[in-house]
Amino acid sequence: MGKSIENVLKEYREDQESVFNNWFMNNTERLKAFRTIRSGLKMVIREIETNEFGNDFKGSSLETVVTAISEQKEIFEGAAHAFYWKPKLRIPDIYENEANKKAFARFLNMFLQTSNEKQLLEQIFLLDSQKIKGLGPAVANILYFIHPTIFPPFNTAIIKGANLLFNQRLKLGSWGEYLKMRDLILDFNQEHSKLLSKDLGAAGGLLYEIGNGRIITSENYEIALEKIEKDKRKRHNSIQNELLEENTHTEMQYHLATLGKAFGYNVWIAQNDHKRTWDNSALGEFSLTGLNLPHVPSSVKDTIRLIDVLWLNKEGDIISAFEVEKSTSIYSGILRLNDLSKSLLHNDCNFFLVAPDKREKEIKAQLLRPSFHNDHTCSLSYILFSDLRSNCEAMCKFGTDVNTLSKICKTL
């Protein structure tokens, strides 16, 4: 006999390693992603409108955005695949076809300009009517990060979960099928609003778990249980690795905070990281209690408050900004620092990526991408974990200001 919906939702919420707890509720990167992706889409639109976009996905500003989405835990893994340029099939046809490219830019721009549900649905119908080859509902993963209360995320596992939960036969690749799934999710979300969220990522995560067989809704329990136990072991190992990465992330924030203090700067630690501890000290102990940015537009203040570490002078000007990267989010970190650079009245701020040694080759490749190498982007340097860790104490003792970092940072 199958489970009741209430038991399914209870299992989803109580499993500490579920998408609900591991991504939706307790993931700082998810909160950062919304503003980062909106900023990246503006870059996509601008480059298309000014004919700077190019004719390939690889190296484009769109790759930057979609990769930032695919980094959002396993629920969005593979989100970029639908946008890879497949030259033999000529899909998705938004790279070599200028009319289709401009239509896609207008579509994205409308979603950034309004939150009117009726108008947004009309834009989907309009895009669908243009029959742009290969540009299907995978785009909904972008739409989710613009309007998370209107459009749910979408992938194979999610639509499979919808079919199992709602007893449907929805198919991939069709905007019509996606919108049917959306209607079912909205009704379900409203009926069980106390256990889910207005943000449709919670419901999308539930369908993802069901579609992957992690939550059993069918009567075929023996086969399902064997699969779910195997999958849970794999997921547990993945989460343990993430915890190790989080500890290293906190360690690097700690070193940057102690350096900033030693140089006489005020320090800001990302708002959601104040309670993290390293060496028996809470990061919040090093941080200003609030970040006063009177000259920064309100639209980007929340983004800046989530930057991992800021150094400020006594007048409150931001002197240096640091984004600490782990196994993901190099794209997102660059976009956040670029957002900050465009918001400052002065241009003498220093921008740094702080990253694992094993990712140096990748960092170089990203910093040389055309979309991060033009007049619209800031100049970035990077610092490797090993260099910061091994030289922090000496720099605190003998260094004087941000220029001391020139001894360990690298610039392309």
> What is the mean predicted confidence (pLDDT) over 273-296?
89
pLDDT of 384 higher than 80: yes
Note if the pTM is more than 0.85.
no
> What is the mean predicted confidence (pLDDT) over 24-42?
83
- Give the Cα separation of 405 and 398 in Å (integer): 12
The mean of the pLDDT values for the chain is 87
**pLDDT score, position 247:** 85
pLDDT of 239 higher than 60: no
- Give the Cα separation of 105 and 41 in Å (integer): 9
- Give the Cα separation of 230 and 226 in Å (integer): 7
> What is the mean predicted confidence (pLDDT) over 15-44?
85
Burial class of 285 by CB neighbour count within 10 A (0 to 12, 13 to 18, 19+): exposed
Report which DSSP code applies to 313: -
Burial class of 215 by CB neighbour count within 10 A (0 to 12, 13 to 18, 19+): buried
> What is the mean predicted confidence (pLDDT) over 299-324?
88
The region of weakest confidence among 252-261, 275-284, 361-370 is: 361-370
pLDDT digits (tens, 9 = 90+) for 250-267: 999 999 999 999 999 999
| H helical segments located in 212-345 | 221-262, 298-305, 330-343
Using 50, 70 and 90 to split pLDDT, how confident is the model at 376? low
pLDDT of 292 higher than 90: no
- Give the Cα separation of 157 and 255 in Å (integer): 41
Strands of 380-384's sheet in order across:
266-269, 309-312, 318-324, 350-355, 380-384, 410-411
Using 50, 70 and 90 to split pLDDT, how confident is the model at 236? low
pLDDT of 120 higher than 90: yes
pLDDT digits (tens, 9 = 90+) for 64-105: 899 889 888 788 988 899 999 998 999 999 999 999 999 999
pLDDT digits (tens, 9 = 90+) for 202-216: 999 999 999 988 887
Task: For the chain, give the percent of residues with pLDDT over 70.
Answer: 88
CA dihedral 381, 386, 390, 395 (to 10 degrees): 10
